[in-house]
Every structure is written in structure tokens, then in C-alpha cells.
A = this chain, B = another copy of it.
């Protein structure tokens, strides 16, 4: 694997210029960026900042949300942004059930169709669409794609160099099928991103901001890192944690802990 990458969401309140300087200082070779923060700073300015610092962009988070009426335009725009930032990987979070709907199969079919429509545009831009399964607790309101098996099934009709999956420890650790599926994903060349976050309890209200830095929770990080490496993954390993307690701490301190968590898992 290529090395550690700090996903920007882990240090959400660290201004981008400080984050980039902090990564350079700590010897971190790559960052994962988020569309909202990039837009706020300015797309071209952000691309230049990161490039001039010698950092790679391991992924852009995130697009998808295919239940929204503007999914076509917003996903094409996200592909353009990924291209402009020089990353080859755009993370897709599918979105939940349409308002008032209980048709989960229909929602999943729609996502497959929508991804199919985006494939030529993504291919032309040299951007890979990485389908992320979120933990099943997000199934109704954020992501009807709840398992790696589903993500692989959605990716299957399309070429692996354009549509793949994200392996995120936080979302997948509970699934006894995940080890077999990581092998399958690797064999198919579909592991486009690998992200570390730990499972800690109690979950906060709304459950979105409940993640722990790698090593602080219930997930066997080393088992995941070994499985993903043995499946042939050669990209960066992002640490991506959302938690108010983490966000309220100094960015450089969190970066150090995230990097240490990565090393403990991977080295």
C-alpha cells in the first residue's frame, strides 16, 4: 500500500492551509478532501495549494445521493471537481430512501441505473467512482447500500477501472462476509479506497458523529489492513473519523494520533 492519507473530515475545523502545512511537516504524503470544504476555499486554489505542497489527493468525498432530483448535475460536477483536484477517486454515498418510501429494492435499482449513466462521463474524466457501503444504521436516511456485497453487486456491470468500492472499517467490521468479499473485490480490481475509523460506544444522537480514531474501539484494524493488502490494494490508507471530541482538538495533535493509528494497523 502507498502510505497514510489524512482525510480532511478527521480534522474538520483545521483550515485547509494549516492542514496542508501540517501534513507536509509530519511527512504525510496524501490527503482525502471534501467537496464542501474545497468549495469554500476555492476549487482551483485548493488544487494548487495541495499540488504545490507535493501532496497527492487520495480521494474526494463525496457525491452520490441519488434520491435527490439534481443527482445528474451534482454528480457530474463532483466528477469535474475530482478531476480538477488531480484525484482519481470520487467516493459515492448512495443516499437513503426517497421521502415517504419503503421501497428499498427500488431505491437500490435506481442507484445502479444512475451509476451506469455516470460511467462514460467519469471515464472521460479519468475519475473512478468508488461506491461506499455505509453501516446499516444509515440505511433509511443516508445510504441504502448497507453491505460490501451490495456495493460489489452495484459495481459489477461496469468496468473495474471506472466503478469500484470503498473498504471502510467503521461501516463493515460487524459483517462476517467481509473477509470473503474483500478477496473478491481485490480479485476484481475494485478496491478503490481504504478508510480506517474505529467503532466506539455509546453512539451519539443521530449517530453520524460517533467514530473513534483507529485503535480506540472494537475494530481489528490490523486484520482489515492485512486483508486489504493481501487482496492486492496498492493505494493510500485514509483515516476518516467524525466525532465532536476529535474535531474540537488541535489539528496537528489529531493528525499525529491518526498517523499512529495507521502505523499500528499497517506496519
Contacts and interface: CB of A to CB of B under 8 A. Distances in A.
Interface of A: 97, 102-105, 108, 135-137, 139-141, 144, 146-147, 149-150, 173-177, 199, 201-207, 217-220
A175 B136 contact: yes
A175 to B, nearest CB: 7
Given A136-B136, A217-B140, A206 B199 contact: no
Closest 4 pairs (CB-CB, A-B): A139-B174, A140-B218, A136-B174, A137-B137
Nearest to A146: B174
This chain: how many copies in the complex? 2
B207 A137 contact: yes
A136 to B, nearest CB: 4
A109 to B, nearest CB: 11
B104 A140 contact: no
A219 B108 contact: no
Nearest to A142: B201
A203 B207 contact: yes
Contact of A102 (B104, B176, B220): B220
Contacts of A139: 173-174, 199, 218
B174 A104 contact: yes
Contacts of A135: 136-137
Question: Which of A136, A141, A149 has the most B CB atoms < 10 Å from its CB?
Answer: A136
Nearest to A206: B202
Contact of A140 (B97, B147, B199): B199
A201 B108 contact: no
